[in-house]
Amino acid sequence: MEEKDSLILEAVERFMEKEVRPVARAMEQQDVYPAEIVEKMKAMGLFGAIIAEEYGGLGLSASTYTKVIERISAVWMSLSGIVNSHLIMAATVQRDGTEEQKQRFLPRFASGELRGGIALTEPDCGTDLQAIRTTARPDGDGYVVNGAKTWITNAYYGNCVALLVKTDPNARPAHKGMSLLIAEKGPGFAAPRKLEKLGYRGVDTAEFALENYRVPRDRLIGGVEGKGLQQILSGLALGRINVAARGVGVARAALQDALRYAQLRKTFGQPIAQHQAIQLKLADMATRVEASRLLVEAAARAYDSGERCDLEAGMAKLFASEAALANATEAMRIHGAYGYSKELDIERYYRDAPLMVIGEGTNEMQRIIIARQLLARFPA
Ligand SMILES: Cc1cc2nc3c(=O)[nH]c(=O)nc-3n(C[C@H](O)[C@H](O)[C@H](O)COP(=O)(O)OP(=O)(O)OC[C@H]3O[C@@H](n4cnc5c(N)ncnc54)[C@H](O)[C@@H]3O)c2cc1C
C-alpha cells in the first residue's frame, strides 16, 4: 500500500472516532441526515475516492477503498452508503462514459458538487431489472423520460443519478433496449417522499417520480443505446465488494463490542467470557470477520486487475453480509438485555445488517451468480 493510502486510512479512522462516533447513535435513532458530516467527507475527498486523479479524485484502488469502507462501517454503516451509491454512478461514467462525459462529470462527482447514486429499482421490480417500465422516448436532441423508481439511496438530498431506462421498450431480449442516463434533478424529476426504514437510517432512501422529464442526448452513458444493463451490472461488481466491506465493518464492530462486554459482565462469579458457551460464540464471530476480510481482499484484487470478478465479488458479498447478520445476532445474545437497549450500538448492528443481505443483489441472487460462474469456468 502506498504512503498516500495509509495516510487516508488513518485520517478516515481519526475522523470516524472523533467526529462521527460521538453523534452516530443519536442521529441514527432520530433518522437525521448527517449534513455536516457529509460536508466534511466531501472536504476529505471521499466522494472522489475511486475517481482517477486526472479527473480530480483520490485515485484509490478498490483494495484501499474497501479498507476505507470497513473503517466507516465499523462506526456508522449508513455513511458508507452515502459514498458508495455515488461512486457506483461515478465508476460507471469513468469506465463506460465518453471522454466528454468524463471531463464534464467526474470532477463534479469527485468534489461532491453533484452527488447521488443509481436508480434501477422500480415499484414492481428489483432483481428482475429487464422488467423495468421507465421509458426514455427520443425527442429532438434528447429524451423524454416517464416512469417511477423506488428505494433509491441518496435520492432525497442528492441531485444526480445514473438512471436505468428503456430506450426501446419492444426490444427482445429486453436488455438490448435498456440504457443508462446521467440524470440531474430538474423539472419533471422529483423525489417527493423519503422512505421509513428498519435500519440504515440517517442516509436518505426515496422514491422518484419522472414525468415528462427531459434529458439531453449527450447524457446517454457511452453515447450508445442498448448498453445500460451491461454497464450497470459492471458497476454493481464494485457495489458488491463495497457491501462486503461494509459487512466486515459491522461484523467487526459487533465482535469488538461483544469481546469487551464478555470480559466485564459477570455471572456465577466469573466474567461470561470464561463460560465455554460464550467462548464458542466469540471464536465463530472472529473467524467470520477474518474470513470475510480475506474474501473482500481477494475480490478487490480481482477488480483492480481488471478481470471479470462476478464470482469473487458475489462470494465476498454473500459471506460478509451473512457474517454481519450472524455477528450482530450473537453480539445481542452475549449482551443479554443490554443488547436490546437503545443505549448501546448492538441493536443498530442488528437493524443495519439485513440491508446488506438484500442490497446490490440479494444473497439468493449471489448464490445463483456464483453457481453460474462456476459452471462457466469449469465445464465438464
Ligand atoms: C435500504 C435500501 C436501499 C436501496 N438502495 C437502492 C438504490 O440506491 N438503487 C436501486 O436501484 N435500488 C436500491 N435498493 C433496492 C434493492 O436493490 C432491491 O431491493 C433488491 O435488488 C431486491 O429487489 P426487490 O426488493 O424488488 O426484491 P424481488 O426482486 O422482488 O425479490 C424478492 C425475493 O425473491 C428472490 N428472488 C427474485 N428472483 C429470484 C430468482 N430468480 N431466483 C431465486 N430467488 C429470487 C429475491 O432474492 C428475494 O428474496 C435498495 C433497497 C433497500 C432496502
Which domains are present in the chain? 3-111 (1.10.540.10), 116-226 (2.40.110.10), 230-377 (1.20.140.10)
Pocket of ligand 1 from Cβ distances under 6 Å: 85, 117-121, 125-128, 151-153, 197, 200, 205, 355, 358-359, 361-362, 364-365, 368
Q: Give residue 205 CA to ligand 1 midpoint distance, Å.
A: 14
Ligand 1, atom 12: closest residue by C-alpha: 121
Each residue's pLDDT expressed in tens, for the chain with a length of 380 residues: 788 899 999 999 999 999 999 999 999 999 999 999 999 999 999 999 999 999 999 999 999 999 999 999 999 999 999 999 999 999 999 999 999 999 999 999 999 999 999 999 999 999 999 999 999 999 999 999 999 999 999 999 999 999 999 999 999 999 999 999 999 999 999 998 899 999 999 999 999 999 999 999 999 999 999 999 999 998 899 999 999 999 999 999 999 999 999 999 999 999 999 999 999 999 999 999 999 999 999 999 999 999 889 999 999 999 999 999 999 999 999 999 999 999 999 999 999 999 999 999 999 999 999 999 999 999 99
Task: Report which DSSP code applies to 196.
Answer: P
**Residue 316 near residue 289, CB atoms below 8 Å:** no
- Is the full-model pTM beyond 0.95? yes
Query: Which ligand 1 atom is the nearest neighbour of the CA of 149?
Result: 11
Relative to the CA of 85, which ligand 1 atom is closest? Answer: 8
Residue closest by Cα to atom 27 of ligand 1: 126
Retrieve residue 213's grid coordinates: 422529464
**184 close to 116: Cβ distance less than 8 angstroms:** no
Residue 121 CA, closest ligand 1 atom number:
11
pLDDT of residue 2: 83
Residue 78 identity (one-letter amino acid)? S
CA torsion, ordered 184, 172, 238, 98, to nearest 10 deg: -50
- For the CA of 127, the closest atom of ligand 1 is 29
| Phi, psi dihedral angles at 64 (to 5 degrees) | -75, -40
CA distance 237 to 187: 32
The Å distance, Cα 362 to ligand 1 centre, comes to 6
Which three cell numbers, joined as nine digits, stand for 81?
452508503
List the one residue out of 115, 106, 212 whose CA is nearest residue 156. Answer: 115
- Ligand 1 centroid to residue 121 C-alpha, Å: 8
Cβ distance 83 to 70 under 8 Å? no
For residue 93, give the H/E element and its range: helix 62-96
Catalytic positions, written as ranges: 360
Q: Whose CA is nearest to atom 44 of ligand 1?
A: 364
